Structure 1
Amino acid sequence: MRADMELQVVASLLRRGRSLDQLSTGLTLLGILFGLAQLLMATVTPICLILSLWMIILGLLQKYWALRVAFDADLFALLAGNKDRTPDLDLALQTLGLQSAKRAGRPWTERRRGALKLLRKQAYLLAAQVLLTLAVILASPWLPFAG
């Protein structure tokens, strides 16, 4: 029963990746707007354009990890009540080409560690995106006129 609860907790943690993804989506859209604003201005600031492009790239990478984290959250929640179906999960993942045969039969502690590592990657990409957003704001040519 303890292991089932651990899987439920991991699934709950992985579902927090959705909040990270939503914030990242907003920052990605902000990066697109900043980039378009740079292109529409009379003078293009190359550094702002480059930073905006990196905001978008990081947002897309984060989106990939968010999809992986959400998939794992669903799998952990599904199998939390019935870990006896782990061989069925491994077979299904292999059939779909999502897992190699040599990774089948891994213990749940290793799977849990890997899933949480994906969540950390997602969070790191979001943190980098936030830092880039601040850099774009500070490098923007209209900032001196704000005060």
Structure 2
Amino acid sequence: MSDLQLHTVASLLRRGHCLDQFSTGLTLLAALLGLGQWLLGNVNPWLLLFSGVLFSLGVLQKYWALRVAFDADLFQRMADDQQPLAERTQALDQALNTLGLQPAERAGRPWTERSLGALRLLRRQSLLLAAQVVWTLGFILASPWLAFSG
């Protein structure tokens, strides 16, 4: 894999930061709605369910966002280093193994495989944000009917 490909993957992974910011806004909205109900003493079960699911999706998204950001930094570091790629890879695998972040048997994987794995994490992050957006829009569209049922 070339340094340009490593830079490209790092750049794609950095887009996860924008996804994370949007998700953080929705997660804070969920927290405010949930906590606001308790503070005002007027608990609506539908709104509490909405807040709980939206907040949970946001926390899961945050986990994947942290993993994606970590991989983005690693790919950028590997792309910027001037040593031969084989030496960089060996040093990275040693560091990850020492820190307990990668099992020893996964060392030496090709960068194409690593890239696909990192981009899979970005897709998971994107799917959780999409779930937050769909859940929010669904709740907004269902709100008039929820008033009649509750």
TM-score by length of 2: 0.86
Question: What are the within-5 Å matches in structure 2 for residues 65-76 of structure 1?
Answer: 65-76=64-75
Question: What are the within-5 Å matches in structure 2 for residues 44-83 of structure 1?
Answer: 44-82=43-81, 83=85
SS at match of 2:2: helix
Tell me the distance in 1 between the aligned counterparts of 2:76 and 2:34: 40
Tell me the distance in 1 between the aligned counterparts of 2:45 and 2:137: 16
Q: For structure 1, which segment, 5-14 or 130-139, has the greater mean C-alpha deviation from structure 2 after superposition?
A: 130-139
**1:65, 1:122 within 8 Å by CA — same for their partners in 2?**
yes
Query: How many pairs are equivalent?
Result: 142
Tell me the distance in 2 between the aligned counterparts of 1:27 and 1:139: 18
Alpha-carbon offset, residue 136 of structure 1: 3.0
Superposed CA offset, 1:78-99 (max 9, x none)? 1114423100000000000000
Choose the corresponding residue for 2:94, options 75, 91, 94. 91
Moved over 6 A (4+): none
Aligned partner letter, 2:54 = M
Alpha-carbon offset, residue 138 of structure 1: 3.2
Tell me the distance in 2 between the aligned counterparts of 1:8 and 1:120: 18
**1:31, 1:133 within 8 Å by CA — same for their partners in 2?**
no
In structure 1, stretches of 5+ residues that fail to align are none
* Correspondence for 1:110: 113
* Correspondence for 2:122: 119
Aligned partner letter, 2:133 = V
TM-score by length of 1: 0.88
Q: For structure 1, which segment, 32-41 or 69-78, has the greater mean C-alpha deviation from structure 2 after superposition?
A: 32-41
Tell me the distance in 1 between the aligned counterparts of 2:55 and 2:31: 7
Superposition RMSD in Å: 2.0
Superposed CA offset, 1:40-95 (max 9, x none)? 364x3312211210110110111110000000000001111442310000000000
Tell me the distance in 2 between the aligned counterparts of 1:66 and 1:112: 16
